[in-house]
Amino acid sequence: MEPVLQAKGINKRYGKVVALDNADLELYKNEVLGVIGDNGAGKSTLIKALCGAVQPDSGEILLDGKTVTFDSPIEARKTGIETVYQNLALSPALTIADNMFLGREIYKKGFMGKFLRFLDQSGMQEMARKKLSELGLLTIQNINQQVETLSGGQRQGVAVARATAFGTKVIIMDEPTAALGVKESRRVLELIGEVKARGIPIILISHNMPHVFEVSDRIHIHRLGQRLCVINPKENSMSDAVAYMTGAKAPPSN
Amino acid sequence: MSDISKDLKEQPKFQEEIGDKSQEHHTFEIEKPNTLKKIQNFLHGNPTMIPVIILILSVSAFGMIAGGKFFSAFNLSLIIQQVTIVGILAAAQTLIILTAGIDLSVAAIMVLASVFMGKLSVQMGIPTSVAIMVGMASGAICGYLNGWLVTKFRLPPFIVTLGTWNIFFALVIFFSGSQSIRSRDIEANAPLLHFFGERVKILGAQFTYGSFLMILIFVVLWFVLNKTAWGRHVYAVGDDKEAAELSGIRTDRMLLSVYTVAGVILALGAWVSIGRVGSVSPTSFYEGNLDSITAVVIGGTSLFGGRGSIVGALFGALIVGVFSSGLSIAGLDVLWQRFALGCLIIIAVGIDQWIRRISN
């Protein structure tokens, strides 16, 4: 089977520091790929290369088997790769609807939209409401509420809803539960399941082992700038994963 | 954070056991400061209400103190005439402040544009319409220069505009030769420059075309800021620049356009100011930059960017106008006018800080 998103032999140096040393990654259809690794292993550089925030020195990124190059996150987004950043990249003073369409607004039809660039606000609100309720986030009642009045989990929900509204190929989630309490984390993990059920593969980067093991189909372990191994969470324990990650135990040969 | 969640995870039973009781306890505790919280919530959603309330209060207060003299249609329309220039300056200033910037050079840009308009048409005999175009272009260039310095060299807007304020002011002196252009000469050679000073009388009230233009600028900016993507992006850039960038907004291009648009508005203000003052004086509106910031801040726009409304700046300018008119009709010294304004600024920023605390 051909991977949806593939990284082949990616190298990235920052001066003398080698962040990525011939790193590979494959993401297949209908899966959640967990990405774990110790601090400084290079996993965030790898993810940034995939979402266009970092340009690799060499190596290839393939989307549906075709080579792509991203000069910015905007270009990655245009191909259908959406990223939910750890800091969410939401504007707190703007409303939920504004935030969901920030940077890719829908304009009114006809003269008002075409020449005066007026926004189709009711259309965007309608779509935002639809997306939120599809993901079971109807607890947010007022789509014109400012994002800063929402709880951490609700904000995460808005960011995820934004990603699913536009992410047609791949969704990358960077530490989505790091800032959340127990209940809210649970909700976000459910959300990941719902997004997966909609047929969009997900890359999940997290330090939280129980969360990664709960939702991932495969787990990519990153170490010293490369992929160390890919393990099946059903056949490996969390302590195994930590041991591989830190180099305390040799990785399984697969 | 992870410590807290760990703690919670270890004690799920405890929570379930006392669940009902603890909720009762909580609702009781939350309800007590409810009215204040409600006010805070309301103001958070409607930031323009503060200047509106202050305006209503000050109008009624001065109405009671100064009586019918203050409330006459003539006096009220005079206030609008008097705030026309500060209002236009504040409109441009609001755009900049919404992006979390500040522009100390607004008045200097305006005066420079008015010097170009007057000098070219009156003293050099160039057709007035061309002179006006040159003035408009000079405003746009000055604004663009500010934006370029802010985005290209990552300098704080405060420093950039502190510098350009002095540079533009020096250019004003250079191009004008420290000479005013007299009203009589403008009337004789370039009457078009006085266009916005012309008055219409409606029921004893007097309005200048300039006042109408000011209102028009505010109306247009309101629509642009609230109904177009450009306007939403102004807020997004001021609110959280990094988030805006990640959302796909080209923040540098955005800032550049905001500073340039502000420059164009200021150049329009230059044309209006010639009509309002009559002459072109290189030393006029020296405090215009601070007056415009005062109006914006009293109008409820946050100096930290991303929050506030363009209409607030109009109300802010009107409040300043009402204060100076009311206090002078009441026969109080100008010093008390300044005193009151100073208090207003501090109160306005204090309220802004209090409202912003809602998110925590």
Asked whether residue B360 carries a pLDDT value surpassing 50, the answer given is no
Q: Which two tokens stand for residue A31?
A: 């899966």
Q: Strands A226-231 and A218-223: what pairing?
A: antiparallel
Q: Is residue A254 situated within a structural domain?
A: no
In this complex, which of B45, B232, B243 lies closest to A90 when CB atoms are compared?
B243
Residues of B with CB below 8 A from A104's CB? 248
CB-CB: which of B1, B8, B227 is closest to A119? B227
Give the whole-angstrom CA distance, residue B154 versus residue B118: 35
B230 touching A (Cβ < 8 Å): yes
Helix orientation angle between A152-166 and A121-134, rounded to the nearest 10 degrees? 110
The domains of chain B are located at 48-355
Is the pLDDT reported for residue B21 higher than 70?
no
CATH code at A146? 3.40.50.300
B229 touches chain A (CB under 8 A): yes
CA dist list (Å): A251 to A221, A230, B50, B100: 9, 9, 64, 51
Which chain A residues are Cβ-neighbours of B240 within 8 angstroms? Answer: 90-92
Summarised one tens digit per residue, pLDDT across range B290-309 is 999 999 999 989 888 888 89
A184 CB neighbours in chain B (<8 A) are none
Q: What does the block give as tokens for B262?
A: 């502000």
The answer to whether the CB atoms of B306 and A77 lie below 8 A apart is no
Number of domains in chain A: 1
Tell me phi and psi for residue B154, to 5 degrees: 55, 40
Tell me the C-alpha to C-alpha distance, in Å, between residue B344 and each of B32, B39, B79, B351.
Answer: 30, 19, 18, 10
Look at the block and give the residue holding tokens 């309490």: A181
Q: Which of A30-34, B24-28, B197-201, B268-272 has the lowest mean pLDDT?
A: B24-28
Q: Which of A184-188, A229-233, B127-131, B174-178 has the lowest mean pLDDT?
A: A184-188
User: For A8-22, A166-180, B8-22, B246-260, which range has the lowest pLDDT when averaged over its residues?
Assistant: B8-22
- Please state the φ and ψ torsions of residue B117, each to the nearest 5 degrees: -60, -45
Hey, is the C-beta of A117 within 8 angstroms of any chain B C-beta?
Answer: yes
B347 pLDDT above the threshold of 80: yes
Identify the closest residue of chain A to B8 by CA–CA distance.
A182
pLDDT, position B270? 96
Query: Which H or E element spans position A106?
Result: none
The span from the CA of A192 to the CA of B339, in Å, is 58
How far does A36 lie from chain B, in Å, by closest CA?
Answer: 17
Q: How far apart are CA A251 and CA B299, in angstroms?
A: 63
pLDDT recorded at residue A69:
92
The whole-number pLDDT of residue A136 equals: 74
Range from A72-81, B11-20, B182-191 carrying the lowest mean pLDDT = B11-20
- Read off the pLDDT of each residue in B32-38 and give the average, rounded to a whole number: 71
pLDDT tens-digit profile of B59-90? 888 888 777 777 788 888 888 999 999 999 99
At A153-202, the pLDDT tens digits run 888 888 888 888 887 799 999 988 887 888 888 888 988 998 899 889 99
Find the mean pLDDT for residues B261-289: 93
pLDDT at B19: 41
Percent of chain B with pLDDT over 70: 90
Written in H, E and C, the secondary structure of B218-281 is HHHHHHHHHHEHHHHHHHHHHHCHHHHHHCCCCHHHHHHHHHHHHHHHHHHHHHHHHHHHCCEC
In chain A, which residues have their Cβ closer than 8 Å to the Cβ of B252?
none
Which H/E stretch holds residue B18?
helix B12-31
Confidence (pLDDT) at B100 = 95
- The nearest CA of chain B is from the CA of A89 a distance in Å of 4
Q: Is the pLDDT of residue B157 over 90?
A: yes
Residue B10 pLDDT: 45
Domain of residue A184 covers 5-246
pLDDT band at B359 (very low <50, low <70, confident <90, very high): low
Q: Phi, psi (5° rounding) for residue B280?
A: -115, 115
Instruction: Tell me if A9 sits within 8 A of A59, measured CB to CB.
Output: yes
Mutate: best of B4, B246, B257, partner A, most A CBs <10 A: B246
What ipTM, to 2 d.p.? Answer: 0.81
Q: Quick check: B16 pLDDT over 80?
A: no
Least confident range from B51-55, B126-130, B291-295: namely: B51-55
What is the mean predicted confidence (pLDDT) over A92-119?
Answer: 86
In angstroms, the CA B91 to CA B217 distance is 8
Within B32-156, residue ranges assigned H as helices are 34-45, 49-66, 68-71, 73-98, 106-118, 128-152
What pLDDT, in 10s, does the model give residues B233-259?
999 999 999 889 888 888 999 999 999
The mean pLDDT value for B255-267 works out to: 97
Would you state the pLDDT for residue B64? 84
- In the three-class reduction of DSSP (H, G, I as helix; E, B as strand; rest coil), residue B167 is classed as helix
Read off the tokens for B238: 């001021």
The CA distance from B261 to B350, in Å, is 30
Percent of chain A with pLDDT over 90: 36
Mean of all residue pLDDT scores within chain A = 88
Q: Are A228 and A222 in contact (CB under 8 A)?
A: yes
Interface membership of A146 toward B (CB under 8 Å):
yes
In a domain, A226, yes or no: yes
Q: Which residues in chain A touch residue B227, judged by CB atoms under 8 angstroms apart?
A: 118-119, 121
Residue A71 has pLDDT above 60, yes or no: yes
Average pLDDT over chain B, rounded to an integer: 86
CA distance A253 to B21: 55
Q: Is the pLDDT of residue B31 over 70?
A: no
User: Between these two residues, B38 and A190, which has the higher pLDDT value?
Assistant: A190
**B205-208/B199-202 β-pairing:** antiparallel
- Check A181 against B5: CB less than 8 A apart: yes
What percent of chain A lies above the pLDDT cut of 70?
Answer: 98
For the domain B48-355, what is the CATH code? 1.10.3470
Residue A253 counted as domain residue: no
- CB spacing of B244 vs A74 below 8 angstroms: no
In sequence order, which ranges of chain A are alpha helices (DSSP H)? 43-51, 73-78, 96-100, 110-114, 121-134, 152-166, 182-197, 209-215, 238-246
Residue A120 in any domain: the answer is yes
> Which has the higher per-residue pLDDT, A89 or A202?
A202
Which residues are CB-neighbours of B340 under 8 A, at least 6 positions away? Answer: B323, B327
Q: Cβ distance B65 to B326 under 8 Å?
A: yes
Looking at residue A138, its pLDDT comes to: 63
pLDDT of B22 higher than 80: no
Distance CA B159, CA A12 (A): 37
pLDDT for the residue numbered A152 = 82
**Which pLDDT value is given to residue B71?**
79
Residue B186, pLDDT > 70, answer yes
Q: Strand A202-205 relative to strand A66-68: parallel, antiparallel, unpaired?
A: unpaired
Q: Does residue A228 form part of some domain? A: yes
Average pLDDT over residues B159-185: 94
pLDDT of residue A254: 57
Residue B16 in contact with partner chain A when CB distance is under 8 A = no
Calpha distance A49→A89 (Å, rounded): 18
pLDDT value for A134? 78
Cβ-defined contact of B229 to A117 (cutoff 8 Å): yes
Given a cut of 50, whether residue B162 has pLDDT beyond it is: yes
Nearest-5° Cα angle at B97, B96 to B98? 90
Q: Is residue A34 part of a domain?
A: yes
Q: How confident is the model at residue B274 (pLDDT cuts 50, 70, 90)?
A: very high
Q: Is A116 on the interface with B (CB under 8 A)?
A: yes
Threshold 0.90, pTM exceeds:
no
- Give the pLDDT confidence score for residue B192 in this predicted structure: 92
For B302-353, list the strands marked E by DSSP. Answer: none
How would residue B33 be classed by pLDDT, with cut points 50, 70 and 90?
low
Tell me if B247 and A89 make a contact (CB, 8 A cut-off). Answer: yes
**What number of C-beta contacts closer than 8 Å exist between A and B?**
85
